[in-house]
């Protein structure tokens, strides 16, 4: 309030705040339950109706690009709310399809994706394993059967008989010519006969020329016939093999058809499966010999166990089924949502591979090899047909993950690739699997900064994430909301598995809630911090053998939390109480004031007073901000200094040039200074110096000032008050000490009990101020003064003294300039 009374009547002082205004007036009497266990559970999300509606819309709307971004501060229960709403929505949805990859027999590097009804993927996989296991026993049995051996022996015998008959006839003709056909290790040889004996070279030379000629002719003719017989042998052998192969195919076909019929019948309504079984049938018949390879180390068939596809012999992996998603609790899906409804998947590590899947490799003989059974699903596969919840910051931190997520949402399909392939870092045979159609709702959870940065710099973001679910940080603290808040606290206690709360404990928690919100008219919705307090209070209740959490337990938990984070605060305050850092809490000084600031280091937040001083003299209208000149002052602090400079220039001696030189500094401040909460203190220090009016050092002040002299609200008011109070309490409370705060900050007060008790006992004061005049009246013990009809401030008022001083500076400056210009060689 501004003082308009005559200064002789004394200043009209702002009145100290009553203790009831220093904290939200909530007590145990406001609640009519014995403990929170008697209350109905909190089935809604208190204070988050707007965000909940947005999340529900994302869950219900069918259009694929209405994905949601849930933004809010950590601790607001973002993931808990999203998880609960999506789980409820998922229950009403049908189970999505299963997906498997199978071998592409025409192009093995391009595995085929097959969609199956929910619950059929594992069934199909087991059916194929059973089929191959069956054939591993049946095909060898078929080829060892008496029927096969008889037919095979008949073919072999027929071939042998035909060959032997030709050779026998050839032998007979040769003997008739007097020639013998002899078998040697190198093949056949033809030699002449004489007297029934094979001619030796000596006997051959002993023959007459006619006989030699006859023998030679017979040998040549026989050799020609032998060559013709031997020449026809490969064709007969090929014909023989063809007949054997035809027999093998016939026998294998019978065995494969008998075994595959059961699988085909089980999946007769699934055209893609039937088409794949046709290709499997053809390949099995063509490669039936694979089942005849003996492996003594393999027992129980090619697929011996429930996870046999990992242990199958390599030659049989081509017939396996790689289950990507199975919604029956037996596949790769989230088991919690496999049996009913759509899946709700939360991926805590959204790397590229964990998001879109990956292709694994194995090392064989120094080379990397892979096949379709080494394709692994990602979170998008598991969430297909349901919901995928991701932390926005985690996605953005992982290389390629954000780009891959957007591509999948934009194209509506999941394509698997690796960073190595994309960057051409590896040169090995890889796979190009069929993309799987994607129909899922993605919910990103992040802070507001992440949302606004993406909205500003990523043009795809607004098209893919059309829904914004902005969670409130607090809610009104009206009486009609207290019962609902009590139910929420009871639900937090129930979910944490701790004791219920007594009404006094609820009241104490609500008071702390307003402090966490920084506003006595608001309750915080930081449920994580509230849950931490309740669980710690439960610990102290356990030590005190309480059946329910009491107000004393809550107070103990809060006090212990403050104590654990108070080392730096204690060191800072100790430096003041030991007078290492100079702060006065009594007496009066010209141009010196106690300004209040808040320090936040990690989890520790505390207030501390700082000595702010001002010095003035005649000058050219320059106001030196020492903090800014030394580059320790931030831009907001510099703005505050310029504002108070404008206030001085427009409020005093407006008909004379500003002839002031002034300096402002935070004494013993060696770190950065920012914010405008000290601008009121800086203005008052300047006014004190100009008016030569001492400032009562029993007070500290916080608040920003505008160019009209109005005091504006600032942040951290509770910590600032407590910081000065603790210094005064350490030195001894006198009853004169107190803190001046902006009147606009009264609604933010949620002070600790030690301060409230001191105010109640009249040992400490907290005074609201609306203008600089209010602060002048308290700190300088005199009226600020208001200009009268004659345009002058009342004589003796602080403002009149300031104006008189500034006019004196202007006159002195004018005289100095005149004297300088009149002297020989002088310049104006």
Query: Which residue numbers are catalytic?
Result: 677, 720
Q: Partners of 522 in the beta sheet? A: 476
CA 16-748-701 angle, 5° bins: 50
The residue written with tokens 């601790």 in the block is 75
Who's near 7: CB < 8 A, 6+ residues apart? 782, 783, 785, 794, 795, 796, 797
90: three-class secondary structure by DSSP = helix
Q: For residue 78, what are its two tokens?
A: 């973002």
- DSSP letter, residue 748: G
Contact present, 390 and 444 (Cβ < 8 Å)? yes
CB 686 within 8 A of CB 648: yes
Q: What is the DSSP letter of 378?
A: -
Closest CA to 74 of 606, 453, 522, 473: 473
> What's the rounded Cα separation, in Å, for the pair 551 and 31?
13
β-bridge partners, 194: 197
- Cite the DSSP H helix spans in 267-359: 271-286, 352-356
Helix, strand, coil percent values for the chain (each to nearest 5): 50, 15, 35
The helix/strand/coil state of 553 is helix
Long-range pairs of 564-568 with CB within 8 A, sequence gap ≥ 24: 565/602, 565/603, 565/604, 565/605, 566/604, 566/606, 567/604, 568/599, 568/601, 568/604, 568/606
Q: Which of 276, 349, 378 has its CA nearest to residue 318?
A: 276
**Would you say 711 and 775 are in contact if contact means Cβ atoms under 8 Å apart?**
yes
Report in angstroms the alpha-carbon separations of 59 from 53, 65, 447, 487: 10, 12, 21, 26
Task: List the one residue out of 421, 415, 406, 460 whose CA is nearest residue 433.
Answer: 415
Q: What is the Cα–Cα distance from 396 to 399, expressed in whole angstroms?
A: 8
Longest distance between any two alpha carbons in the chain, whole Å: 172
Q: Which phi and psi angles does 367 have, rounded to 5°?
A: -115, 150
625 forms bridges with which residues in the sheet?
664
* R_g (Cα) of the chain, nearest Å: 48
DSSP 8-state code for residue 747: G
Strands (E), 467-591: 467-470, 474-476, 522-524, 588-590
Q: Which two tokens stand for residue 487?
A: 């139910």
> Element (H or E) spanning 597, and its range?
strand 592-601
């Amino acid at each position: 309030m501004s003082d308009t009374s005559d200064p002789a009547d004394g200043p009209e002082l702002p009145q100290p705040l009553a203790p009831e205004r220093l904290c939200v007036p909530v007590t145990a009497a406001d609640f009519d339950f014995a403990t929170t266990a008697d209350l109905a559970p909190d089935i809604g999300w208190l204070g988050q109706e707007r965000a909940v509606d947005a999340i529900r819309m994302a869950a219900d709307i069918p259009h694929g690009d209405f994905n949601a971004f849930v933004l809010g501060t950590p601790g607001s229960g973002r993931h808990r709310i999203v998880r609960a709403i999506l789980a409820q929505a998922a229950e009403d949805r049908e189970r999505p399809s299963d997906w498997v990859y199978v071998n592409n027999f025409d192009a093995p590097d391009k595995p085929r994706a097959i969609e199956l009804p929910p619950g059929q993927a594992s069934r199909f996989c087991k059916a194929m394993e059973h089929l191959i296991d069956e054939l591993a026993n049946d095909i060898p049995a078929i080829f060892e059967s008496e029927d096969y051996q008889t037919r095979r022996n008949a073919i072999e015998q027929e071939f042998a008989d035909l060959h032997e008959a030709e050779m026998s006839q050839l032998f007979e003709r040769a003997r008739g010519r007097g020639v013998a056909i002899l078998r040697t290790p190198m093949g056949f040889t033809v030699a002449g006969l004489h007297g029934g004996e094979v001619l030796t070279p000596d006997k051959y030379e002993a023959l007459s020329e006619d006989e030699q000629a006859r023998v030679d002719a017979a040998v040549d003719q026989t050799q020609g016939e032998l060559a013709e017989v031997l020449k026809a042998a490969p064709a007969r052998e090929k014909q023989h093999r063809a007949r054997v192969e035809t027999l093998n195919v016939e026998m294998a076909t019978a065995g494969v058809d008998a075994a595959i019929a059961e699988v085909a019948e089980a999946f007769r309504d699934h055209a893609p499966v039937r088409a794949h079984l046709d290709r499997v049938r053809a390949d099995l018949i063509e490669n039936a010999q694979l089942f005849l390879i003996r492996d003594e180390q393999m027992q129980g068939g090619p697929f011996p166990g429930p996870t046999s596809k990992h242990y199958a012999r390599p030659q049989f992996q081509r017939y396996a089924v790689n289950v990507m998603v199975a919604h029956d609790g037996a596949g790769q899906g989230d088991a919690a949502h496999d049996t009913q409804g759509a899946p709700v998947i939360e991926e805590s590590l959204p790397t590229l591979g964990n998001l879109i899947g990956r292709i694994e490799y194995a090392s064989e003989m120094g080379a990397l090899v892979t096949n379709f059974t080494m394709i692994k699903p990602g979170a998008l596969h598991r969430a297909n047909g349901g919901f995928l919840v991701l932390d926005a910051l985690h996605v953005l931190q992982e290389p390629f993950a954000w780009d891959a997520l957007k591509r999948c949402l934009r194209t509506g399909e999941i394509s698997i690739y690796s960073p190595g392939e994309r960057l051409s870092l590896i040169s090995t045979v890889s796979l190009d699997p069929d993309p799987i159609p994607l129909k899922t709702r993605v919910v990103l959870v992040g802070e507001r900064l992440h949302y606004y940065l993406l909205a500003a710099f990523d043009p795809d973001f607004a098209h893919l994430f059309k829904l914004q679910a902005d969670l409130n940080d607090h809610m009104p603290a009206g009486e009609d909301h207290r019962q609902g808040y009590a139910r929420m606290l009871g639900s937090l206690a129930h979910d944490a598995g701790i004791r219920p709360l007594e009404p006094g404990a609820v009241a104490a928690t609500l008071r702390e809630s307003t402090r966490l919100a920084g506003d006595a008219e608001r309750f915080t919705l930081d449920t994580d911090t509230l849950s931490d307090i309740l669980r710690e209070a439960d610990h102290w209740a356990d030590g005190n053998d309480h059946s329910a959490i009491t107000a004393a337990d809550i107070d103990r938990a809060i006090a212990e939390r403050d104590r654990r984070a108070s080392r730096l605060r204690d060191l800072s305050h100790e430096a003041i109480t030991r007078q290492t850092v100079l702060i006065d809490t009594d007496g009066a000084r010209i141009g010196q004031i106690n300004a209040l600031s808040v320090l936040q280091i990690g989890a520790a937040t505390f207030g501390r007073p700082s000595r702010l001083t001002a010095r003035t003299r005649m000058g050219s209208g320059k106001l030196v901000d020492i903090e800014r000149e030394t580059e320790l002052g931030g831009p907001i602090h510099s703005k505050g200094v310029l504002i108070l400079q404008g206030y001085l220039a427009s409020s005093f001696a407006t008909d004379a040039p500003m002839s002031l030189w002034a300096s402002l500094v935070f004494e013993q401040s060696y770190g950065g200074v920012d914010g405008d909460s000290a601008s009121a203190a800086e203005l008052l220090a300047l006014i004190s110096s100009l008016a030569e009016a001492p400032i009562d050092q029993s007070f500290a002040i916080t608040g920003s000032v505008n160019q009209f002299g109005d005091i504006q609200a600032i942040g951290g008011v509770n910590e600032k008050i407590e910081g000065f109070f603790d210094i005064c309490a350490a030195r001894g409370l006198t009853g004169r000490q107190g803190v001046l705060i902006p009147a606009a900050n009264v609604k933010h007060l949620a002070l600790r009990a030690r301060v409230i008790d001191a105010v109640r006992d009249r040992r400490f004061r907290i005074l609201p101020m609306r203008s600089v005049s209010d602060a002048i009246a308290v700190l300088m013990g005199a009226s600020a003064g208001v200009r009268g009809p004659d345009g002058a401030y009342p004589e003796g008022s602080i403002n009149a003294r300031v104006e008189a001083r500034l006019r004196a500076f202007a006159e002195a400056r004018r005289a100095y300039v005149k004297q300088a210009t009149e002297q020989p060689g002088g310049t104006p």
